[in-house]
Structure 1
Amino acid sequence: MASTPASDPTNTARRDGNQDDSPSPPPAAPVPLTPGPRASRLQQVFSQALLHTIRTNSYANFSSCFPTPAKHVPRSLESVWRQLNAKLEESAKAEFDDILHERGVVRGLNELDRLVGEAKHRRENGEGANSVPAHTLTAKELYQAHLTPILAKAQSSLDSQTEEVQRKNIQLASKVESQKQEIQQLLASLEAVVGDIEGAVESMREFDADDVLRKEAEQMDEEIRPSRPS
C-alpha cells in the first residue's frame, strides 16, 4: 500500500501567501437609521425654514388684520392665533416626516455619508481607484459602488420636492393673506354700518328727546294690529 505523502511546508506557505494576497472582505456594516450629518443637516434646514414661516405670522401681524376682536377680545384672538400656528407646524412636520419615510431619505443619506467617508479615507492614505482588486469585492460592495449617482439623483429629487412644498406654502400664505384682507374689508364695512346706525339713533334721540314719535308709532301699531289678517 502506498503511503500518504506528508504535507509539503512549501505548498502550505504558498497557499497561505495566496490567501494573504487576496483576503475575503468583511461584510459591510448595516446602514444606521439614526440621522447622519447630511440627514441631520436636511432636518435642520427644514426646521429653520418652518420656524421662519411661523415667525412671519406673528401675533402683531395677525391681530392687525382683526382690529375689532384684538381690541375687545384679545385673549380669544391670541388663542386662535396660537392654535393656527400650532396646526401649521404640526401639519408641516407630519408631511415632511412622511416624505422622509416613504423615500428612505435617512438611510440613503447615511449610505452616502459612508461612501464619501470611505473615499476620503482612501484618498488620504494615497490609495488609487484600482488599489482594491475587483474580484475581492462582494456583490453588495459592487452594488454600493454604483449607488452614488442613484443617491445623487434621489437627493436632487428630494430637493425638487422640497422646493415644490415651499412654493405651495408661499401660495397658501398668499391665499391666507388675501382672505385676511377680505375679512378686514368686511369688518370695516360692518363697522361703518354700525356707525351709521348709531348716528341715526343718536340723531333720533336729539330730535325726539321725549320719545313722542316712538310712542305714536307704538300707538299706531296697536291700532292697526287688530285689523291685520291672522
Structure 2
Amino acid sequence: MSAQPSIPAREQGEQSEENVITHPTDPTEGHSKRFEYFYKALKLASHKLSTKWTEEDFAQCFPTWAKESPQGVAQVRIQVGEHIRDQIVEQSTAVLNSYCAADGIDALAAVIADAKERVKEGNTDGLDVWKEGLTPKALVHARTGRVLREEKERLELLLKELDDENAQLFASLQEKQGARKELSKELDTYLNDLDEALDQANALPLDDVSEWMETVVDPVPMNDK
C-alpha cells in the first residue's frame, strides 16, 4: 500500500480555520433597517428599565453602607443595572431568535417597501402581495397556532386543577353540613327531653311532696349535723 500524502501543518491550520463557523456578534447584522430600529428600541427600553431606580433608592436598601461608602454604593448600582440590562437583552434576543422574529420583520419590511413602490407607480388596484399560495390569515395562524395551542393546554390544565380543588372543597362542605345536621338533631332531642322533664317537674303537687317529706323522712338530729 502506498503512503497517503501528508498535509503540512500550516495547511491543516488554514483548513481548520476555514471550517470554523463565525457568528455575527451584532444581532442586527444582515437584517433590515426596520429590525435594526426594533432592536435598538428593545435595548433602549432595557436600559431605561435597569436604571429606573436612582442612587437614593439604592442607598435606602443599604443605609449603613451608603453612609460609609457612597461611591461604592453608586458603583455597585451601575454594575447591577448593567447586569440586569444585559440579562434582559440576552433573554429577549433568545426569544426573538426562537420565533425567527428578525426574518419576519425583514419580510414585513420588504412587503411594505414593495407596497410603497406600487403606490408610487399608481398600481393600487392589484391583489395583495404576500406569499404565493398563502393568505395573510394562514400565515398568522401558522405563527400563532402553536403558541395558542400551548396556552390552551396550560389553561386547560389549570382549569382541571381548579375543578379538582372545587370538588374537594364541595365534598368537605357537604360533610360539614351533614355533621351540623346530625348535631342539630341531637341538640333538638336533648332540648325536647329537657322540656318534658321540666313539664313533669312543674306538674308535681308540691304541697303533697312537702307533707310526705315531713312524715316519711326522719329529721336529722341537730347533734348529728
TM-score (norm 1): 0.42
Larger radius of gyration between Structure 1 and Structure 2: 2
Structure with the bigger RCO (C-alpha within 8 Å, sep 6+) is: 1
TM-score (norm 2): 0.43
